[in-house]
């Protein structure tokens, strides 16, 4: 079952940033269909199973961005 989720990511400024965040999250198991809104910093995605917020945060921080609470 797919479950829509969203997070906010700080520090994205361009399409390259959005692409980096998309790739980082799509490498997390169970995450797919990632969409980034650069103007708001909102990142939406679907999950096909449980995904821990710390796992998402680690993926985002590994590429130099911050995930807001």
Domain boundaries, the chain: 3-67
pLDDT of residue 57: 98
- pTM, two decimals, is 0.92
Predicted confidence band at 33 (pLDDT cuts at 50, 70, 90)? very high
Q: In CATH, which of 3.90.420.10, 2.40.50.460, 3.30.70.100, 3.40.50.12780 is domain 3-67?
A: 3.30.70.100
Q: What is the mean pLDDT of residues 2-26?
A: 95
Q: What is the mean pLDDT of residues 16-38?
A: 97
Q: Which two tokens stand for residue 19?
A: 């692409």
């Amino acid at each position: 079952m797919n479950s829509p989720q969203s997070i906010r990511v700080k520090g994205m400024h361009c399409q390259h940033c959005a692409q980096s965040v998309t790739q980082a999250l799509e490498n997390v198991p169970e995450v797919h269909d990632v969409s980034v809104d650069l103007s708001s910093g909102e990142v939406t995605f679907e999950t096909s199973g449980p995904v821990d917020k710390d796992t998402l945060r680690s993926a985002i921080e590994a590429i130099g961005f911050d995930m807001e609470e």
